[in-house]
Chains A and B, each alone.
Chain A
Amino acid sequence: MRMKTLLLTAAAVAALGGGLAARATQITGSGATFPDPIYEKWFSDYNKLHPDVQINYQPIGSGGGITNILQGTTFFGASDMPMKDEDLAKAADHILHFPTVLGGVVPIYNVEGAADLKFTGALLADIFLGKVTKWNDKAVTAVNPGVTLPAADITVVHRSDSSGTSFIWTDYLAKVSPEWKTKVGANTAVKWPTGLSGAKNDGVAALVKQTPGAIGYVELIYALQNSIALGQVQNANGKFVKASLASVTAAAAGAAANMPADFRVSITNAPGDAAYPISSFTWLLLYENPKDKATAKTMNDFVKWALGDGQKLCAGLGYAPLPANVVKLELAQLAKIKAQ
């Protein structure tokens, strides 16, 4: 009798323990705020498909995400900017970059009666350097023949918070203007030569909207959702392209030919007739040889899903999906992760 009770208890405990183990694999990550809406959507949809997998993501910013994965407080990280060599050297183990979705950054402006203005990269750089200060400057009218531009002052508006958006914007300007590269450089926050700053996309958009003669830059998603008029930008092939989800994806496809093995690549000013030049990946950061092999297996399965079915959810939320050739390269890298 007593033996039987003991056995039953043991069985119950085992069942309970097993039940707990099988109930949920918890994975935590943190990082960039820009892809947060699509990540949240992915994690909740994946949880519906696989109720035993729970992924928690804290959008604390790229810098925080990198610090957390370096210290091992989270299983994965996310960043809008590829990790620097010096940070990678600090890691206990090799960290891999996985592009997840694409974003674009667009110039917005407030000039009465001038819809659909065209900009070259050099012109944008000169405006943000404070060298072109009037809307009717020859540099502006030369690329916009037939448009009458007022003699108004140009007010430059940029982001006050350090952000991936500013990184993409300054990275592009550094590529197209040697002067920008030496004087300012590319980063999430830079020393702006001129203009004023607004906080986040809405702060920049509000300042541009209110200030006659202003020019600023916002994320493509923000401009699309708020139907803000945006300028066309000349790409590396000399074509003027309006930003859209398709033209951003085209930029990634154009860059795939010269993709470095570790995916740490800037795709601004990418080749291709249809490519929008101010585009960028956002990355997921994973250890190549993680300690917890079981969790790594679950995470790998999720990444596979996100690169496949997950990409179909992008457009609905305003993100540009990855081109097929990039996904193929990433799946090969995913196979390198030492999981169970």
Chain B
Amino acid sequence: MARPKTSAGDRFFQLGTGLFALVVVVIAAGIAFILWHRSGASIAKFGFHFWATDDWDPVAGEFGARTFIWGTLYSSFLALLISTPLALGIAIFLSELCPHRLRQPLTFLTELLAAIPSIVYGLWGIFVLVPAIRGVEQSLPDWLRATPLFSGPAVGVGMMSAAVILAIMVVPFTSAVAREVLKAVPAAQREGAYALGATRWEATKVALYYTRVGIVGAVMLGLGRALGETMAVTMVIGNTPQVKWSLLAPQYTMAAVIANEFAEATSSLHISALVEIGLVLFVVTLVVNAASRLLIWRLTRQRTERPMPTPVAAAERAA
């Protein structure tokens, strides 16, 4: 194919937008470099042990990130566990089942959740959610409290409160994207399913299968938000660096410790260690995003290789 003729204006346009795109790359690389550079003292002193040790003692000058990495990943994972079914339910209802008159107001309300500043979630968390969670924790039966997942004193602040508040913050992001994706399913696809005698549930299953790449993308967008969330989490998680499976135990996240300790950190090693936590968070986010890309990529390939499953039951019923 011959290259289309380009005018000077087109070239300028291409160059200009290309430069803008480059800015993003430069900023990301710049952030990574500065984080690495400023954490020099801590990297030199602790090396890779920083990733694997639990000690965080500003007085003795001993720093390790393992408890914070655990807290960030565990709280985000739990948040996704709660938010994904909720968000998908909302998205399916809004795109497939909702009466027309309710659709606009409901969409608006879920998206409004995304506009609330995280500090407001934090305040609500500390005054409303935490006491409520404490009540729930105290009413758990003894045999459940004996399991590692619910061990320890019921104080309200802790992993469970953090996961719940994160889930609420993540839902609007996941549901908004999932709804858009479901809306993009061609009408012919749905009509085809109905024509074969599929029930609503079966037709929705077909639509979900058709959009699975987009749905995974929506969940990953939520995960990105959960990993970096700071203020709301620090106000309810209890800020105690420890690796525990217990949902009742107060724990700590990477973003929270940076926000909490940076302003009044006076020793240069402490500051350097906090910057390295930032670097670790950067790397963890990068790895998680790369993994989700990989997942999406594999799903996309599958789709081209395997044909859509036919709703067998529906076809049989139709026959």
Contact = CB atoms under 8 A, between A and B. Distances in A.
Contacts of A66: 266
Given A160-B256, A191-B58, A63 B266 contact: yes
Contact of B157 (A61, A161, A192, A207): A207
B243 to A, nearest CB: 15
Given A162-B260, A189-B261, A62 B266 contact: yes
A198 B250 CA distance: 11
Interface in B35-71: 55-60
Contacts of A33: 263
Does more than half of chain A's interface fall in helix, strand or loop, or is it mixed?
A: loop
A266 interface: no
A320 interface: no
Interface stretch (A134-142, A179-187, A322-330): A179-187
Given A190-B59, A197-B240, A199-B234, A210 B265 contact: no
Classify chain B: how many residues form its interface, as a range: 20 to 34
Contacts of A207: 126, 157
Nearest to B238: A196
A64 B265 CA distance: 8
A4 interface: no
Given A189-B261, A195-B240, A199-B239, A162 B250 contact: no
A195 B240 CA distance: 8
Given A63-B264, A196-B250, A211 B235 contact: no
A160 B126 CA distance: 14
A81 B235 CA distance: 25
B264 A163 contact: yes
Contact of A63 (B57, B59, B263): B263
B59 A162 contact: no
Contacts of B238: 196-197
Contacts of B256: 160
Contact of B156 (A84, A185, A210): A210
A15 interface: no
Interface in B149-187: 153, 155-158
B207 interface: no
Contact of B263 (A161, A197, A198): A161
A162 B127 contact: no
Contact of A189 (B58, B127, B134, B240): B58
Contacts of B56: 191
B260 A160 contact: yes
A207 B156 CA distance: 9
Contact of A197 (B57, B58, B153, B239): B239
A190 B57 contact: yes
Interface in A104-129: none
Interface of B: 55-60, 126-127, 130-131, 134, 153, 155-158, 234-235, 238-240, 250, 256, 259-267, 270-271
